[in-house]
C-alpha cells in the first residue's frame, strides 16, 4: 500500500510523533485526518493544506472516534480508510507507595490505562470495522493499523506501573488482532519508541535528557519525531510487516 492518494487517520496528531507522521504522509501525497483532544490540531491541519482535515476527539469515546473514522473514510474514495497511525497517549509517573507508605491513587492508574490501552482498542475496533468494507487493493490488502507502544512495555522503570502496563497491553494486542483481521486483509503492527524529542518529554530536566541520551548505545541522542514517521511509512508500504512490535530506540535498554 502506498501513501500517495490514500487516506489515513492519525490520532494524537496535534503534537510530537502523530504530528510528524501527518506531515510525512501529506508530503508523500497522502490525505490525512488529524485527530486530537487538543484544539491545536486545527491549526496544524490548516498548515498542511487541503490534504488534511482536523477532527477534535477523545480516543476513549466511541462517538468521537466513529466521527474521526467516518471523516477519513470520506477522504479515501473507493479504498476508504487505508491506514491508522494511533499516537494519542499520555505518560504518567506514580509509585505504588509514596514516601509515607500510602498506596498510589487508583483512579490515576485507571485513567492511564483507559487512555493508552482502552483508547487503542477503541480506535482499532472502529477502524477495522470501516476497513473491512473497503474495496481491496490489488494484493487483497484492505488496511493497516499501527499502534504506539513504548520500550516501557518491556523495561518499565520505578513509577511506571500504569504506563508500562498500558503499553504492554498494546504490545499484547498486536498478534491476536493481526491474526483475527488477516481474513479481511488488514495488518496490525506496533512501534515501541525509546525516548523521543516531543512535548511529552519536555518536562524532563536538561541533565536527565543528557543522561538519557548518553545511555543510548547509538546514536547518543533522543529520537526525532520524523524517525518514527519514517518507520510508520515503511510499515504502511511493506506488506510483510504484520503482527509484530518494532522497538525504535537506538538500542536503549532502560535500567
Ligand atoms: N516521546 C517519547 O519519548 C515516547 C516514547 C515512547 C512512547 N511514546 C508514545 O508515543 C505516543 C505519542 O507521544 P508523543 O511523544 O508524540 O506525545 P505528545 O504529548 O507530544 O502527543 C500526544 C498527543 O496525544 C493527545 N492525546 C492525549 N490524550 C488523548 C485522548 N484521550 N484523545 C485524543 N488525543 C489525546 C495529546 O493532546 C497530544 O497532542 C504516546 O502514546 C506515547 O506514550 C512516546
Band (pLDDT 50/70/90 cuts) for residue 138 is confident
**Cβ neighbour number for residue 197 with a 10 Å cutoff:** 16
Q: Map grid coordinates 476508504 to a residue.
A: 80
User: What are the tens digits of pLDDT across the range 200-216?
Assistant: 888 888 898 999 999 99
What is the 12 CA–ligand 1 centroid distance (Å)? 6
Comparing 53-67, 88-102, 117-131, 202-216, the range with the smallest average pLDDT is 202-216
Comparing 94-108, 152-166, 174-188, 202-216, the range with the smallest average pLDDT is 202-216
Band (pLDDT 50/70/90 cuts) for residue 159 is very high
What is the 10 CA–ligand 1 centroid distance (Å)? 11
Task: Tell me what pLDDT residue 201 has.
Answer: 85
The span from the CA of 157 to the CA of 161, in Å, is 8
CB 204 within 8 A of CB 182: no
Contacts 24+ apart (CB under 8 A), 59-62: 59/11, 59/12, 59/35, 59/86, 59/88, 59/115, 59/119, 59/120, 59/122, 59/123, 60/114, 60/115, 60/118, 60/119, 60/122, 61/122, 62/122, 62/126
Rg of the chain on CA atoms, in Å: 18
CATH superfamily assigned to domain 7-248: NAD(P)-binding Rossmann-like Domain (3.40.50.720)
Task: Tell me what pLDDT residue 255 has.
Answer: 85
Collect all residues with Cβ–Cβ distance below 8 Å to 108 and sequence separation of at least 6.
92, 94, 162
Q: For residue 139, is the peptide bond before it cis, meaning its omega torsion is within 30 degrees of 0?
A: no
Position 88 pLDDT exceeds 90:
yes
Q: Which of ligand 1's atoms lies nearest the C-alpha of 60?
A: 31
Task: Tell me what pLDDT residue 6 has.
Answer: 97
Q: Map grid coordinates 467516518 to a residue.
A: 70
| 239 DSSP 8-state letter | T
Band (pLDDT 50/70/90 cuts) for residue 133 is very high
Catalytic residue numbers? 163
Annotate 156-214 with three-state secondary structure: CCCCCHHHHHHHHHHHHHHHHHHHHHHHHCEEEEEEEECCECCHHHCCCCHHHHHHHHH
The span from the CA of 203 to the CA of 194, in Å, is 16
| Residue whose CA is at the smallest distance from ligand 1 atom 21 | 15
| Residue whose CA is at the smallest distance from ligand 1 atom 1 | 196
pTM of the model: 0.98
Band (pLDDT 50/70/90 cuts) for residue 239 is very high
Q: Which of ligand 1's atoms lies nearest the C-alpha of 151?
A: 6
The span from the CA of 232 to the CA of 25, in Å, is 9
| Residue whose CA is at the smallest distance from ligand 1 atom 2 | 196
**CA atoms within 13 A of residue 78's CA, in its CB half-sphere:** 4
Amino acid at each position: 500500500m502506498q501513501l500517495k492518494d490514500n487516506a489515513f487517520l492519525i490520532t494524537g496528531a496535534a503534537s510530537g510523533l502523530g504530528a510528524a507522521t501527518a506531515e510525512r504522509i501529506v508530503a508523500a501525497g497522502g490525505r490525512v485526518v488529524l485527530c486530537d483532544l487538543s484544539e491545536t490540531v486545527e491549526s496544524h491541519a490548516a498548515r498542511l493544506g487541503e490534504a488534511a482535515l482536523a477532527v477534535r476527539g477523545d480516543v476513549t469515546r466511541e462517538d468521537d472516534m466513529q466521527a474521526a473514522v467516518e471523516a477519513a473514510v470520506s477522504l479515501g474514495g473507493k479504498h476508504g480508510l487505508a491506514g491508522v497511525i494511533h499516537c494519542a497517549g499520555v505518560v504518567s509517573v506514580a509509585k505504588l507507595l509514596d514516601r509515607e507508605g500510602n498506596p498510589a491513587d487508583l483512579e490515576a492508574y485507571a485513567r492511564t490505562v483507559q487512555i493508552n490501552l482502552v483508547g487503542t482498542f477503541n480506535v482499532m475496533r472502529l477502524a477495522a470495522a470501516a476497513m473491512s468494507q473497503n474495496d481491496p487493493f490489488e494484493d487483497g490488502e484492505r488496511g493497516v493499523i499501527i499502534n504506539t507502544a513504548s520500550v516501557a512495555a518491556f523495561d518499565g522503570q520505578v513509577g511506571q506501573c500504569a504506563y508500562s502496563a498500558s503499553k504492554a497491553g498494546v504490545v499484547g494486542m498486536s498478534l491476536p488482532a493481526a491474526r483475527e483481521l488477516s481474513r479481511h486483509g488488514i495488518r496490525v503492527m506496533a512501534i515501541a519508541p525509546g525516548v523521543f524529542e516531543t512535548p511529552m518529554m519536555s518536562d524532563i530536566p536538561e541533565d536527565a535528557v543528557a543522561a538519557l541520551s548518553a545511555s543510548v548505545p547509538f546514536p547518543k541522542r533522543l529520537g526525532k519525531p520524523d524517525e518514527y514517521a519514517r518507520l510508520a511509512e515503511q510499515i504502511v508500504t511493506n506488506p510483510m510487516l504484520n503482527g509484530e512490535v518494532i522497538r525504535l530506540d537506538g538500542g536503549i535498554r532502560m535500567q
